[in-house]
Structure 1
């Protein structure tokens, strides 16, 4: 059903989409593609790249350094755009790698311009989504620079929970999460050993568990207070509280 598409659910948090606007979003799904986990679909420095709408699965955006190290900038979940900025700037300043096998819709610049011309409110909603993504990057920078390891990881997992709840794939109880400790380490500026240690501390504090690909919030309110997590930067009411 169209109304359950992740992108529709995500944008509907900002604006009540009309039937015509939902139809325009549906029209963007003409070119559907699949990519396997671990193989980049966008390379840093690539030019004239299409954007993608992530329909299912998870991906990550990262920057690779000259010495081979990488910093994961963010993870993408269903309903997110991949490479939207690259379409506007004509060159990708980061790489995108599927964390799991993914299904995407390829969106060309002409597709976006036509959609925006038909429904200006849709352009505003997508601008909101892009602005929210920028706010998350700012929050991640604060986390790496000023939060200790336990606060950083707790905040990160709460943010993922709020994002997934927005598209109906998470709740106050928890959510499925395919991320390895190595991936989280590359995103949080920690070692995988340190991530493992922090997860154990959070579990022993009866705040959360992360086991067999599932995050369980044992004490959501306590975890929120511990991480000083305020979802207002995501610019929507906290769906985990509903």
Structure 2
């Protein structure tokens, strides 16, 4: 069903979509493509790159430094746009790598402009998703700059949970998570060894367990308090996991 697509569910959290708007949104899904894990679909500096809508699987956006170090900017989950800024800027300022095998729909600038012209409310909803993504980047900067390692990682796991709940992939029990400790380390500014140590601390404190690709919230409310997690920056009226 169209209504259950991750993008429609995500935009529907901002505005109640009409049948006509859902039908128009569905037209963006006409060019389906698949990419295998570990092989970039967008390269930093690539010109005139199409955007994508992630239908299934996980991806990450990252920047490479001159010395080869990598900073993961964010992880993308179903319902997220990939490379949306490059449609406007004409040059991609980061790379995008599938974390798992992924299915996407390719979206050209003309497709977006046509949809926006037909249904201005969809343009507003997409602007909301872009603003929400910017708010998450700001929150990540605060985390790296001011939160200690344990609070930072707890906040990161809670945010992922809220984002997944928005598209029906998370609950207050937890969520499936394919991220390795190395990927998480590149996102939160820690070493993989440090991430392993912090995850053990959080588990021993009875708040969360990350094992065999699954995040289990052992005491969600306590973890929210510990991390100082305020869901308002995600533009949600309250935690979706509740």
Both proteins in one fold, TM over 0.5: yes
Distance in 2 (alpha carbons) for counterparts of 1:24 and 1:103: 20
- Which residue number in structure 1 is paired with residue 56 of structure 2? 56
- Structure 2 counterparts to residues 131-142 of structure 1, below 5 A: 131-142=131-142
Report the number of matched residues: 241
TM-score (norm 2): 0.99
Match of 1:68 in 2: 68
Query: What's the secondary structure of 2:33's corresponding residue?
Result: strand
Using the alignment, how far apart are the partners of 1:20 and 1:97 within structure 2? 33
For residues 5-29 of structure 1, give each alpha carbon's deviation from its aligned partner in whole angstroms, at most 9, with x where no partner exists.
0000000110000101100111111
Which residue of 2 is the match for residue 239 of structure 1? 240
List, as ranges, runs of 4+ consecutive aligned residues in structure 1 with deviation greater than 4 Å. none
Counterpart of 2:127 in structure 1 is 127
By how many angstroms is 1:214 displaced?
A: 0.1
- What SS does the corresponding residue of 1:239 show, helix, strand or coil? coil
Distance (Å, rounded) in 2 between the aligned partners of 1:176 and 1:12: 23
CA root-mean-square deviation: 0.4
* Aligned positions of 1:1-242 closer than 5 A: 1-237=1-237, 238-241=239-242
Return the offset for 1:163: 0.2
SS at 1:79 equivalent: coil
CA distance in 2 between counterparts of 1:62 and 1:146 reads 21
Give distance in 2, aligned partners of 1:233 and 1:50. Answer: 28
Q: What secondary structure does 1:72 align onto?
A: strand
- SS of 1:216's partner is strand
Deviation per residue, 1:87-130 (Å, 9 max, x gap):
00000000000000000000000000000000000000000000
Structure 1 residue matching 2:91: 3-state secondary structure: coil
CA distance in 1, matches of 2:85, 2:236: 23
Distance 1:20 1:113 in 2: 17
| Alignment partners' CA distance in 1, 2:24 and 2:184 | 35
**Which ranges of structure 1 fall in alignment gaps of 5 or more residues?**
none
Paired with 1:149 and 1:232, the residues of 2 have a C-alpha distance of 22
TM-score (norm 1): 0.99
Distance 2:156 2:194 in 1: 15
Alpha-carbon distance between aligned partners in 1 of 2:9 and 2:100, rounded to the nearest angstrom:
22
SS of equivalent to 2:202: helix
Q: Deviations over 1:6-63 (max 9, x none)?
A: 0000001100001011001111111000000000000000000000000000000000
Within 2, Cα distance between the matches of 1:193 and 1:128?
36
**C-alpha displacement of 1:151:** 0.3
Q: How far is 1:236 from its partner?
A: 1.3
Deviation at 1:212, TM superposition (A): 0.3
